[in-house]
A and B are shown apart, each in its own frame.
Chain A
Amino acid sequence: MEMTAYTSVGTYDARVDSLPKATGELKYINDMCIPGMLHAKVLRSTEAHAAIVKVDVSEALAMPGVVAAITGEQAGFSYGRQIEDEPIIARGRVRYIGEPVAAVAAVDEAAAEAALERIKVNYQPLPAIFDAEQAAAADALLVHPDLMSYKRGPGLNPGAGTNVCNSFKIRRGDLEAAFAQADFVFEHRFTTPPIQHCPIETCGAIAYSEASGQLTVWSGTQGPHLLKQLLCKTFGLPGGKVRVIQPPYGGGFGGKVPMHVEPIAVALSMQCHMPVRLALNREEEFAASTVRHGSIVRVKSGVTKDGRITARKVDYILDTGAYARIGPLVLRNSAIAATGPYDISNVQVDGVCVYTNKVPAGALRGFGTPQVSFAYESHMDMIAHELGIDPVKFRVLNIQRSGSINGPGETVKDIAIERCIEEAASAIGWGEPDIRSSAAGAPYLKRGKGVASVVKACAGPAQSIVVVRVAKDSSASILISASDMGQGVEMVVSQAVAETLGIPLGGIRVEQPDTSYSPFDELTTASKATFHTGNAARSAALDIAGQLVDMAATELGAEASALAYSDGAVRSADGSVCLRIADILGKGRYRSCSELLGRGMFISDYVIATDPETGQSPSPVAFWMYAAQAVEVEVDTQTGHVRVLRVAAAHDVGQAITRIGCEQQIQGGVVFALGQSLWEETMIRDGRVANPTLLDYKILTSADTPQIIPIIIEDAPHPLGPFGAKGLGEIVTTPTAPAVANAVFDATGARVCDLPLTPERVLGAIKAVRNGGKAVWAVTRLGERASMTLRRR
């Protein structure tokens, strides 16, 4: 393919934001301190489901150092972006262990903690429901009996008299006929547990409601503008009175999507008109913030004897816990990706998102796709095994190519998934003679390889605006409201501006988002920032370039149309004119002009809503991301311990902008997802999180990290992406778990259909194979068997 020569985009330059972090000088949200600041603590429910008879904070308020205390009755508001089902502090009823029941603000944390012990709460326990499948049943106990009376957003389908807060369906082709004609039909069931974001910095915010009516909130939030909108709506404040400042914060992964700590801090500050900080401790971060939706997914495929998939049906349940939060959208996002990156003519998807009495679920890196991809990519391998086809060949045989129609009905183009599969597989020596056992030869260690290929959407539509100020010394300041939580958007917009204007990267500063002057961006989620904010940054720089051309034309008395901006200067076609920024600003007619202001906007306004009956749309999303990963593992067949030896991760990024950033996101995303493949699980026992520490909730350490080979595929630039770029952050976490499960199967013949692949679970599956010959069973921790059927015609 033809390579475009860029000077900044796609280079291996170091990220502009790193040094102040490495020196410890950067102040994060929880490092901030405002004079007079109070510290808030939240009293949390000890009941999974109960009526609140009484909450008495009077003794707490009388404690020394305590300035404010609120209960649900006083806080008084319900919020929820999709469904307004969640009170800031529980009112009348608690629906999960960890739900706020009261909050206090005091002069220090010790006083606040002491005050919590003086709050009296009387509960009247109610029966609770924890199992998502039971919650989805017709006659289930209801978590929200008044569900239909809540205000909700457009396009949602809650079920009256049920726990279903939203359902979503896709219909294309004639599914039943296709199943009837298929040579084989396979159906399998999979589950994934609720998992955690585990940002190394916990959620935190400071709110200051001044008596004069101004509200300022500092928050480590992934959406300062959305947070402002939600605070205005929740507290009935006009936009002009609310300002949200987003200081740097230590990791997001979806867990800092507004809002959860902020409204309590605001409600307390409104009572005392002093700045109030609320920062979660690690246990609260685990037990009372947000998790990824646990899932139960059934996948059924009709296949011809030569390996073409002709029909696929996916039925699944997402467990959203006690409140909907963003669950209804997670449901939609998983549904449109649920049939995978395959070209299948007849598809049907039915998903429901249900309430249970557990910690609420929300956005978490992948937004519904890791759950369905674990299912469909394990299912793909199970089919390949039954048909005796190589798993890589089976995928390539069915993969989408330009012109294929995907699940929600879009005709896809500019995709490089086939190359991703081939590159990933080849990087770990797929098809080469295997060394089946460890080099040292221990007979109980078995090696195997697995692959998975996946797709994820950046849903959209979304709007990003960027403002760029360029000074006569070619330095620039960029204003964005996309939030850099470590993923590198500051570097992306810096490079987009440096590339477009031909100015040095070292002279560019990106300002922290502040809704009082930073232009609009709703949220930094969905892997959308490079695509949307990057595009807007490029436009803003082009706006500056246009102004420079006009100024040069005026100065020279030439036609603007005869000039163009390229390679850092305004030039004429014949080369006689070459004016750099410093030759225009501060010179001649513009001698008093020191700085220009450019603005750029990008809206993915081409997104067309899916049909409510069929889930189909010619343009359902802003863009698609594709990836394939191949994994080699070594399984200790006596202990069930899985050691991942290496991971090759091939990603269709369109065009790498920050090359080092792409590698960071790929390596980091793989480590993130390996934890979820092997060990990560929020263990909820009778509604209580039983492992709320980083010791018992096990993310990968450096000592467990295998070789990771990032493969950046730039074969298929996106026609609308900035410089051809697509998104990357979330898709990395999507193929890893099924690739690991497939590699474990390859090594041992044991299939595990439930995440994570803990030693105990893997050993159970290995023993089941040993005892039952060919039968492949997934054994859950509780020892119950997941269903698996195989029907041959």
Chain B
Amino acid sequence: MRNKLPAFEYYEAHSLEEAVMMLHRADVLARPLAGGTDILVAMRMKGARPSSVVNLKTIPGLDSICEGSSGYHIGPLTCMDSVHRHFRGVPGCEALAQSAGAVGSWQVRCRATIGGNLCNGAPSADTAPALLVLGAKVTLAGPSERHDSLSTQCVDLDQFFRGPGLTAASEGRILTDIFIPCPSQRLKTVYLKHSPRRSMDIAVVGVCAGIEIDEAGQVTLARIALGAVAPTPFRALEAGACIVGKQLDAAVCAEAGRMAGAASRPISDVRASAAYRREMVEVLVARALQSLAGQEEVHSHDK
């Protein structure tokens, strides 16, 4: 690791247009700066040497959460601590509050942003599975073809992740909005993070589940998303689909766990082996579903 950060040019953007221009005027090694909790570590420890850094926090209006009739607009520069506090107790969004609260330490959560968490492209990003389950859409701003104005596009979050460290925002585009459609009255969500420590840790496996159950006890909607078990966070579609129309008993939950495990493509590293990660997906998906079905309190040290 380096004691001193390598030198770079520093720019402060005051508007999205300016930010996009700065990122493009500079060469490909320009990096946007949000909370900085990942990029500064990458520069010190992992050899990242951006030629320039464009601070996005000087752009007004990107760090707040607005509640509209159709859903929530979360500014990408909203820090994890704010996300955690805002969504705590919001029906349907429990998992988002849990996952934002599960990031690093309080100091890190006061700095790290939800947009940074997504754009960093880490497979283990805590908020990604929750946002996937909530059906989040993200808006990206980039240069228009003639580079004279902004072009924006809105994509589903599951189209956003491309690979480890790679997202739809990787090439000079800026995440400008994270939209969560209003969760239905019946939606319940939960995020289970498996890591040795209760705090200050990276997810060995992150599991988020969201379900809606009708009066008859039948599942009418089920979404399962996984972190740290594939090159990107992703939705385990088949595992979700297999429980729709069923009563959530232990066997059904276990079957969904097995399907989610089968959909995982984990790696082995210092944190865990691939086999262990896959097995934890099975266990935690089943556990998450059972807890949502109200059959059992969740026993994860990081709920």
Contact = CB atoms under 8 A, between A and B. Distances in A.
- A and B co-occur in one complex: yes
A109 B4 contact: yes
Nearest to B272: A760
Contacts of A157: none
A702 B284 CA distance: 25
A701 B283 contact: no
A463 interface: no
Nearest to B5: A110
B283 A639 contact: yes
B77 interface: no
Interface string B58-80: 00000000000000000000000
Interface stretch (A394-402, A405-413, A437-445): A437-445
A689 to B, nearest CB: 10
Interface string A763-786: 100000000000000000100000
Contacts of A763: 276, 279
B27 to A, nearest CB: 21
B289 to A, nearest CB: 14
A695 B200 contact: yes
Interface in A668-710: 678-679, 683, 690-693, 695-696, 698, 700-704
B199 A442 contact: no
B42 interface: no
Contacts of A696: 270-271
B201 A698 contact: yes
Contacts of A692: 1
Interface in A398-435: none
A180 to B, nearest CB: 44
A161 interface: no
A759 interface: yes
Grouping DSSP codes into helix (H, G, I), strand (E, B) and loop, the B interface class, with mixed when no group exceeds half, is loop
Contact of B196 (A109, A438, A678): A678
B301 A701 contact: no
B147 interface: no
Interface in B247-264: none
B1 A438 contact: no
A639 B4 contact: no
A696 B41 CA distance: 14
Nearest to B4: A110
A442 B271 contact: no
B299 interface: yes
Contact of A703 (B198, B273, B287, B296): B198
A701 B2 contact: no
Given A109-B4, A638-B283, A690-B270, A701 B199 contact: yes
Nearest to A284: B1
A41 B299 contact: no
B109 interface: no
Interface string A262-301: 0000000000000000000111000000000000000000
B297 A760 contact: no
Contacts of A691: 270
Interface range for B:
20 to 34
Interface in B1-51: 1-4, 45
B146 interface: no
Nearest to A634: B299
A695 B270 CA distance: 11
B158 to A, nearest CB: 27
Contacts of B287: 638
Contacts of B202: 695
A754 interface: no
Contacts of B1: 281-283, 692
Contacts of B280: 639
Contacts of B198: 701, 703-704
Contacts of B3: 41, 109, 113, 281
Contacts of A41: 3
Contact of B297 (A442, A683, A704): A442
B137 interface: no
Contacts of B45: 283, 693
A641 interface: yes
A643 interface: yes
A643 B276 contact: no
A702 B197 CA distance: 10
Contact of B197 (A690, A693, A703): A703
Nearest to B105: A701
A643 B301 contact: yes
Contact of B299 (A440, A683, A695, A703): A440
B223 interface: no
Given A281-B1, A690-B270, A641 B301 contact: yes
Given A703-B197, A703-B198, A113 B272 contact: no
Contact of A641 (B2, B4, B196, B200): B196
Interface in A434-459: 438, 440, 442, 444-445
A636 B202 CA distance: 19
Interface string B182-198: 00000000000010111
A334 interface: no
A698 B296 contact: no
A219 interface: no
Contacts of B297: 440, 442
A758 interface: yes
A737 to B, nearest CB: 15
Contacts of A704: 197-199
Contact of B270 (A113, A440, A683): A683
A444 B45 CA distance: 39
Given A110-B4, A282-B1, A636-B299, A698 B270 contact: no
Interface in B262-303: 270-273, 276, 279-280, 283-284, 287, 296-297, 299, 301
Given A109-B4, A639-B284, A703-B197, 18 more contacts: A41-B3, A110-B4, A113-B2, A113-B4, A282-B1, A438-B299, A442-B296, A442-B299, A639-B194, A678-B196, A690-B270, A695-B200, A701-B198, A702-B199, A759-B194, A760-B276, A763-B279, A781-B273
5 pairs of A and B residues whose beta carbons are closest in the complex: A703-B198, A283-B1, A703-B199, A110-B4, A638-B283
28 contacts: A108-B4, A109-B4, A113-B2, A281-B1, A281-B2, A283-B1, A440-B299, A442-B299, A638-B283, A638-B287, A639-B280, A690-B270, A691-B270, A692-B1, A693-B45, A695-B201, A701-B198, A702-B199, A703-B197, A703-B199, A704-B197, A758-B196, A759-B196, A759-B276, A760-B273, A760-B276, A763-B276, A763-B279
Interface of A: 41, 108-110, 113, 281-283, 438, 440, 442, 444-445, 636, 638-639, 641, 643, 678-679, 683, 690-693, 695-696, 698, 700-704, 758-760, 763, 781
Interface of B: 1-4, 45, 194, 196-202, 204, 270-273, 276, 279-280, 283-284, 287, 296-297, 299, 301
